[in-house]
A and B are shown apart, each in its own frame.
Chain A
Amino acid sequence: MATNFFPSNADMLKFLPETVLTLAGTLLLLVEGFKKERDSRTGVAMFTLLAIVAAMGASVVAYQNPGLAFSNMVISDGFAAFFRVVAYVVGIFTVLCSMNYLEREKAHTGEFYILLLFSLAGQGIMASANELMMVFIGLEVSSIASYILAGYLRDDKRSNESSLKYFLLGSFATAFLLYGVAWIYGMTGSTNLGEIRTALSSGAPSSIMVPAAAALILVGFAFKISAAPFQAWAPDVYQGAPAPVAGFLSAGPKAAAFAIFLRVFLTAFDPLAAKFAPVLWMMALATMIVGNFAALWQNNIKRMLGYSSIAHAGYVLVAVTTHSTMGTAAAMFYLAAYALMNYGAFAIVTHVAGDGEKHVTVDDLKGLSQRQPAVAALLTIFMLSLIGVPLTAGFFGKFYIFKAAIEGKFVWLTALGLLNSAVAAYYYLRVLVVMYMHEPETTEHPEEIPGGVKLTMWVTAAATLVLGIFPGIVLDLANQFAVLGK
């Protein structure tokens, strides 16, 4: 196999989504060179949407050609397809919300879309990596593009701060990860997930170095999913990044990071599961507590949603802790549901923040129900879903996670996690309080909602409710795809 430098067609099909995205991104890069700064970028945005939709179709093609590709470096399975589609859906929302936003902030250049496409390609690689080197490449492709996206408003101080923090801490995380990969390679002689698993379960390298190396890799992932105690970057980055990008970061790259986290710990490090259970247990609990309690004091909505995203990572970590097929399915469903409800919330923030994101405190929402009743109603749906009130996707996600936890005999983690979600109700309710129970402070006529944002809002809200009432639509897929290749 090693002698054949030209991959077969079958291999190419398994890698089709990333190919599509990379080609589209490269093409736009060439086109952008010929554009003037004042030219309209609507065409670019439309082409980007088209490319993402095509990539979504390509993920289905890849799914229909399951198996390993490129000398076992890439795996195409339902699990990969699921996370690809989640990331692409988030990508579509990001484009829809950004078009008008970038125009408004006078930063409408084509590079935004190009970086977004590359970032999505990186997330696709993460979802389908079967190799620690591929994990690294996927993570870097996705992250480097995201660092720039976070600082896209280059004249804005907060945006710069956000980008720099994200970059520095993200680089540390990657360094940890890479160090761990090197150790693993040293001990098992491979970076392939399957081979590492075989080597570890045969018990050959019994030294303390193995769990230490796995711990280094865990630290790398924990940074990316913003798990405590490596969560400090998240609120700053979400607060400073442009609102549509913050939404993207909280949903897309995070889901992909969880995908690779699950795959590595359920395949390569499966033999170490018992050793890591208490670590993950503590991490899940700490993440929920830190996220929820810190969010209680926030006045900036973006920052609050940043802490809330830490807390939600904690809930997903509960599912990861169970180390079971059901836990994996629960995490998959939750990440999909979270992507919908959280992006919806960020879409609304994008709109109500106004020019230069001036109105981003909770108090700026005062009386929103009277000024813009539909927007307030939709934000209510997102908040209730984030609290976990029944008939929303967020409730069912949480329900399924804690069901998996109970069945994995994590009774105390379940009880503490559920109590956490009662604490969380307080800060989400504050948003409802100011929207519905305070009088509006401004008499300014509300700006018209741009089409893309409007579409995103309504689609995410409808999906949040539909998944809350008929979770089977996504849950059946998650259950089917949660069985990771051994």
Chain B
Amino acid sequence: MNLLDIVLALPLIGFLIMLVLPKGSASKLKNFALGFSVIVFGVSLGLAGAALQRPAAMTWVTDVAWISTPAIRYHVGIDGVSLWLVLLSTFLTPISILLSFSYIKDRVKEFYAFLLLLEFGLIGVFISLDFFLFYVFWEVCLVPMYFLIGIWGHDRRIYAAVKFFIYTMVGSVLMLAAILYLYGKAGTFDYPALLTMMQSGKLTLTHVEETLLFLAFFLAFAIKVPLFPLHTWLPDAHVEAPTAGSVMLAAVMLKMGTYGILRFCLPMFPVAVKENSGWIITLALIGIVYGALVALVQPNMKKLVAYSSVSHLGFVVLGLFCGNQWGLDGAVYQMLNHGISTGALFMLVGFLYERQHSLEIKDYGGVATPAPWLSTVFLVTTLASIGMPALNNFVGEFLVLQGATQANVWWAVIAATGVILSACYMLWMYQRTFYGETPESVAHHVHDMTAREWLCITPLLALMLWMGIYTQTFLPSIGASNKVILDRTQTTSAPLRVAAPVVPAAEAANHGN
């Protein structure tokens, strides 16, 4: 049992303790949840040392048998990419807990218990190296988020929660079929073992098999990302979720999809990735522009931020399928950036909602007068989100665009319009909300930041600056991990392409059309 196992086990222990704690005192429950999650974060920081030294390989590995027949192993480990995603989860959980202190008034115990269960599932997804284990955590995440949206959400919460659950479930059952199929061929669920078998030629997939398996995995991940046109669950889920739910959903849960593509789809199915990247990138580009255009016309702040997520995640997918180091690094960096800045945006929108009890932009105006600090913080976050240099998103977007330019300059041109549009919709929203006349109700209700709110937002602001200015903390380890994935994609695809009658088959199909 090493540190990583402890980091994984702690949230589950916290969840179980929460269940048996007496319901009576809300403040005790809150403080316990906060204290516990801060400890989890503290412990998880200990992972960084070893993982950053050898980011290209898996560290903190535990590999023990769990179920004997079929052979299912508890196999976990982290590399330079998953380290940051684990830290993102453990970092945002205490913040989500803290920011809910005044927002959540009923069923306090269950709320924080579910947040801890969600943290358990998220960490598990990012560290699993056994497909069965991965699937287990993938689904475990679903249940607490379903309840978070369904119980503590806004008016249409039930519709949103069920839609969220069913959408994800449809994708994930197909992934389960693919996992089972791989097991049928290879006789193992162990991911590194599968990769080794593929590399050594012990496990070969026909062209059709590879394509179908890739699509099965990709569909599950694409729904989670969400890639246009599978994104329709996202605005509903985001708008209806309570603030902490939106933050966790946007900041961490969406990354499950892009992480899955990076970790599993790219290395396992290099040929299928090459062949399918055309339409996937097209969808990603549509998502970038479409998400931005829809965000432009949203009267509801949360919905606006939700659609901006569709647009931002389009960048991530674009980067992942560029097929070069720039693109991959940018995609991972953008995953983290989006977690920080969109998480912060949802949090700030939540702060406004707690004051004015409205998410409609038209109910605000001139907020800068009664709440100057709040508007300053909001402005910094807005600028980060639209990719202002020296703030975090700029780095990620720059890298992705660089990668896209290398692959196909038109991709970069179209994607860049997304950056421009993001400035339009974000700044326009900012202007309508914070400047202009201050209506009576705003002046009356909207007060400036409280100490607790400062405590929530400051770490995020610090990270926006840190990630925007000193990328050396993050990029070398991300790059080293990505290089392993990229090498695999390129070395295996070349001989396979020659060996398999891929091109004639594809041509014949085209001819037929």
Contact = CB atoms under 8 A, between A and B. Distances in A.
Interface string A362-392: 0000000000000000000000100101110
Between A390, A407, A472, the greatest number of chain B beta carbons within 10 A of the residue's beta carbon is seen for A390
Contacts of A279: none
Contacts of A433: 150, 158, 161-162
Interface string B135-166: 11101101100110011000001100110011
Interface string B177-200: 100110110000000000000000
A422 interface: yes
A414 B166 contact: no
B174 A406 contact: no
Contact of B184 (A406, A419, A426): A406
A406 to B, nearest CB: 4
A113 interface: no
A419 B174 CA distance: 7
Given A390-B136, A414-B177, A403 B69 contact: no
A411 interface: yes
A472 B180 contact: no
7 contacts: A389-B140, A395-B139, A406-B181, A414-B180, A419-B170, A436-B151, A479-B69
A470 B142 CA distance: 21
Secondary structure of the A contact surface, majority rule: helix
Given A406-B184, A414-B177, A422-B166, A389 B68 contact: no
Contacts of B181: 406, 411
Interface string A100-119: 00000000000000000000
B70 interface: yes
Contacts of A415: 174, 177
A191 interface: no
B176 interface: yes
B176 A399 contact: yes
A390 B140 contact: yes
B162 A429 contact: yes
A421 interface: yes
B166 A425 contact: yes
Interface in A291-332: none
Contacts of A223: none
A293 B103 CA distance: 39
Query: Closest 6 interchain pairs by CB?
Result: A418-B173, A390-B136, A406-B180, A422-B169, A422-B170, A437-B150
Given A402-B177, A426-B166, A437 B158 contact: yes
Interface string A426-447: 1001001100110000000000
A402 B180 contact: yes
A271 interface: no
A64 to B, nearest CB: 24
Contacts of A400: 70
B150 A436 contact: yes
A414 B173 CA distance: 10
A422 B143 CA distance: 14
B143 to A, nearest CB: 6
Contact of B139 (A389, A471, A472): A389
A115 to B, nearest CB: 39
A387 B165 CA distance: 11
Given A422-B166, A433-B162, 7 more contacts: A390-B140, A406-B180, A411-B177, A426-B162, A432-B146, A433-B158, A437-B157
Nearest to A418: B173
A471 B67 contact: yes
A390 B146 CA distance: 15
Contacts of B67: 470-472, 475
A415 B69 CA distance: 23
B219 to A, nearest CB: 11
A402 B176 contact: yes
Contacts of B169: 387, 421-422, 425
Interface in B475-492: none
Most buried by B among A387, A395, A425, A437: A437
A437 B166 contact: no
A391 B124 CA distance: 13
Nearest to B136: A390
A422 B177 CA distance: 13
A37 interface: no
A403 B183 contact: yes
A418 B176 contact: yes
A391 B173 contact: no
Nearest to B162: A429
A392 to B, nearest CB: 10
Contacts of A355: none
A156 interface: no
Interface in A434-486: 436-437, 470-472, 475-476, 479
Interface in A393-414: 395, 399-400, 402-403, 406-407, 411, 414
Contacts of A479: 69
A437 B161 contact: yes
A387 to B, nearest CB: 8
A104 B181 CA distance: 51
Contacts of B166: 422, 425-426, 429
A433 B70 CA distance: 35
Nearest to B69: A479
Contacts of A425: 165-166, 169
Contacts of A407: 184
Contact of A476 (B69, B162, B170): B69
B179 to A, nearest CB: 9
Nearest to B175: A418
Nearest to A384: B143
Contacts of A387: 169
B180 A403 contact: yes
A406 B177 contact: yes
Q: Of residues B69, B135, B158, B162, which shows the largest number of chain A Cβ atoms within 10 Å of its Cβ? A: B69
A391 B177 contact: no
Nearest to B171: A422
A322 B170 CA distance: 24
Contacts of A402: 176-177, 180
B135 A437 contact: no
A158 to B, nearest CB: 30
Contacts of B183: 403, 406
A300 B275 CA distance: 50
Nearest to A437: B150
A418 B162 contact: no
Contacts of B157: 437
Interface in A24-39: none
A325 B162 CA distance: 38
B123 to A, nearest CB: 15
Interface string B19-38: 00000000000000000000
A280 B261 CA distance: 37
A418 B143 contact: no
Given A425-B165, A437-B158, A391 B151 contact: no
Contact of B147 (A418, A419, A436, A472): A436
Nearest to B106: A370
